[in-house]
Each structure stands twice: as C-alpha cells, then as structure tokens.
Amino acid sequence: MRSALWSLLYGAALLLCDATATYHLSPGDPRLLAAQSYAQNRNNGRPPLRTLDPRKTDAQCRSRPLDLVFIIDSSRSVRPGEFEKVKIFLGDMVDTLDVGSDATRVAVVNYASTVKIEFLLKDHFSQLDMKKAISRIEPLAAGTMTGLAIKTAMNEAFTEQSGARPRSRNISKVAIIVTDGRPQDQVEEVSAEARASGVEIYAVGVDRADMRSLQQMASIPLEDHVFYVETYGVIEKLTSKFRETLCEVKVEVVEDPCKCEARLAFQKQTQAALQQLTAKLADVSGRIERLENMVGRA
C-alpha cells in the first residue's frame, strides 16, 4: 500500500515539474516557437497595424518610375531668400525619389519672362548630381510667362531626345509647377494640350498665386493636383504630400508581429495547460486522500 502511495506522490511531483516548465520556456523551446508561429499566422490574416512614425514609412516608400519635370517660377516677385526655399524643396523632393536611368529621371525648367532649362531628364542619374545642379540654379527675375514655360517643357524637356522614355515604356510623365503669381500669358490651352499628350500636371501656388490659373493648369481631380501654401517658408511641408502621391509601394510597418500576439497566444496555451494540470492534481489529491484513509484504517 505504501508503494502505491509513493507512486502517486511521485506522479504528482512530475505534474508539478511539468507545470513549472510550462511557466519557464527558453527562447528556443518548440512550444514557444509554436506559439510564435500561431501568432504570426493570425497576424497574416488581418490588416497590419500602421505606424504614423514618418521615420519608419519614409525610408520604405519607393517612387514609381517617372519622367518628372519641375517648372519653377523665379520672377521678380520671388525674393532671393524665397527662391532658396524653392531649391530646398526641390532637393528634398529628389531625396524621396528612386532616381536612376531605369527609375525616375528629373529635369528642371526655370522661368520668368524667359524660360531656361536648367537640366534635362538625361543629364543626371544620381541624387547627389541632381542636388548639386539644383544648388547652382539662379533666379531669372522678370515677368511670369507660365504658359511659355509649359510649352517649352513639352517641346524640349519631355522629348525622347532630352531623355524622356518612349510611350511604349508606359513611364508616367509628371510636371510639377511652382508659382506665386498670376500668369502673364495664357495657360489653359497649352496645359490642356500637355495633359492630352499624357502629362500629369500638379500646380503648387504660393502666397499671391492665382487659384483659377492653378486650376486651369492642373490635372483632374483638382483636389489631388492643386496645392496652396501661404509662404515659401512652409513649402517644404508639401514634400510629404508628394511622397504619398508619387509612392509606388508603401511597406506597412507591423508593430511587434511576434511579441504581443505571441505572448497572448502563449498565455492562452499556458492557461489551458494549467487547467489540465489542475484537474489532474485534484484527481491525484483525491486518490491520495482515499489511500491515506485506507492506510489509517489498516
């Protein structure tokens, strides 16, 4: 009888050891790996959690291949310090792009009463070279011939001779116009011709910019292609907006895919195991009690 009692006590001790082990799993324990796998499968079946931390999203946002032409107003109304802000904006935009001969190509058209192509789509295929070229741009400081600038961009910047990819490549052609005034020539017809040829136009107005002219230039829907900022001092804020617009693939950042979820799954697994152990211990305790009574009567 005593041997049976000790056997039951030994069985109870083993169950207690099993319970202890359930609480203390090493990182490589198969049970923990199973819990992590379960959590990851659960996470894959639901939309990933999104992070608002720009440091996480910006580096993981890659622009689709573009033939991109900036058309920038450097008329007399744009003060030297303000024009420097425009150049900073262009540099920041270049930093967000996947620049290269097989990726995004960039050109800059500078205008006032005359138009100057600062560099063409075929001229620079690295961010560093582009930013150096942008830093050398000087304002033209005269009138505001926006229509002429758009026409020049179409005839000279968006051509295959200047580095634009052929239509058969299906590379998006985008123009971003930045101006702070009212055009001194007609923009509606030349903008319509540019859009009809397949160029997507974004119009950025600053300070005194004429909203009607911006709307005549921009592609539709206007709410996605017309932007306005009160001063050149805040134009850099548009960089994030254009990043979203020009972004091809945004990698969703999943917060703790195998930590919180795995912990919850592991806790549930542990609770279920403890419930089973508790039931077994209660059964063993009952048997021991009955055996003790039998031994006492003997």
Q: Are residues 73 and 201 in the same domain?
A: yes
Q: Are residues 42 and 69 in the same domain?
A: no
Q: Give the β-pairing of 199-206 and 172-179.
A: parallel
Q: Do the Cβ atoms of 18 and 274 come closer than 8 Å?
A: no
Q: Are residues 198 and 292 in the same domain?
A: no
Q: Are residues 264 and 241 in the same domain?
A: no
Residue 173 has pLDDT above 50, yes or no: yes
How far apart are the two ends of the chain, measured CA to CA in Å?
10
Q: Are residues 210 and 269 in the same domain?
A: no
Residue 44 has pLDDT above 50, yes or no: no
- Of 70-74, 99-103, 256-260, least confident by mean pLDDT is 256-260
The tokens for 59 are 């580096």
Give domain status of residue 25, yes or no: no
Residue 257 has pLDDT above 80, yes or no: no
Could you give the CA distance from residue 244 to residue 200 in angstroms, rounded to a whole number? Answer: 16
C-alpha separations of 136 from 118, 132, 145 in Å: 9, 7, 22
Q: Are residues 110 and 141 in the same domain?
A: yes
Q: Are residues 212 and 65 in the same domain?
A: yes
Could you give the CA distance from residue 219 to residue 263 in angstroms, rounded to a whole number? Answer: 50
Residues, the chain, total? 298
Q: Are residues 209 and 269 in the same domain?
A: no
Phi–psi pair at 109, nearest 5 degrees: -110, 120
Residue 188 has pLDDT above 50, yes or no: yes
Residue 268 has pLDDT above 70, yes or no: no
Give domain status of residue 11, yes or no: no
Q: What confidence tens digit (pLDDT) does each residue in 141-165 have?
A: 789 999 999 999 999 999 999 999 9
Give domain status of residue 158, yes or no: yes
Q: Are residues 276 and 246 in the same domain?
A: no
Work out the average pLDDT over 241-267: 57
Q: Are residues 189 and 134 in the same domain?
A: yes
Residue 51 has pLDDT above 80, yes or no: no
Residue 68 has pLDDT above 70, yes or no: yes
pLDDT score recorded for residue 267: 64
Q: Are residues 178 and 243 in the same domain?
A: yes
pLDDT score recorded for residue 158: 97
Give domain status of residue 21, yes or no: no
pLDDT score recorded for residue 12: 53
Give domain status of residue 27, yes or no: no
User: Domain holding 167: CATH number?
Assistant: 3.40.50.410
Between residues 202 and 283, which one has the greater pLDDT? 202
The pLDDT-based confidence of 20 (bands split at 50, 70, 90) is: very low
Phi–psi pair at 37, nearest 5 degrees: -65, -40
pLDDT score recorded for residue 286: 74
Give domain status of residue 260, yes or no: yes
Work out the average pLDDT over 19-25: 46
Work out the average pLDDT over 67-92: 94
In 136-176, alpha helices (H): 146-152
Number of domains in the chain: 2
Residues ≥6 apart with Cβ < 8 Å to 78: 86, 139, 141, 180, 232
Work out the average pLDDT over 80-105: 94
Which range marks the domain in which residue 69 is found?
54-250
Residue 171 has pLDDT above 60, yes or no: yes
Give domain status of residue 293, yes or no: yes
pLDDT score recorded for residue 48: 32
Residue 261 has pLDDT above 90, yes or no: no
Residues ≥6 apart with Cβ < 8 Å to 262: 32, 35, 36, 38, 39, 40
Instruction: Using alpha carbons, select from 93, 126, 127, 123 the residue that is nearest to residue 107.
Output: 123
- Of 27-41, 107-121, 196-210, least confident by mean pLDDT is 27-41
Q: Are residues 116 and 260 in the same domain?
A: no
In whole numbers, what is the pLDDT of the chain averaged over residues? 78
Q: Do the Cβ atoms of 128 and 94 come closer than 8 Å?
A: no
- Of 19-28, 77-86, 97-106, least confident by mean pLDDT is 19-28
Q: Do the Cβ atoms of 139 and 112 come closer than 8 Å?
A: yes
Give domain status of residue 229, yes or no: yes
Q: Is the peptide bond before 80 cis (omega within 30 degrees of 0)?
A: no
Residue 226 has pLDDT above 80, yes or no: yes
For residue 125, which amino acid is it?
A: F
**Single pTM value for the model:** 0.64
In the chain, alpha helices (H): 2-23, 30-44, 54-57, 80-96, 127-135, 146-152, 188-196, 211-217, 222-225, 238-246, 260-297
- Rounded percentage of the chain residues whose pLDDT exceeds 90: 54
The tokens for 40 are 């990851």
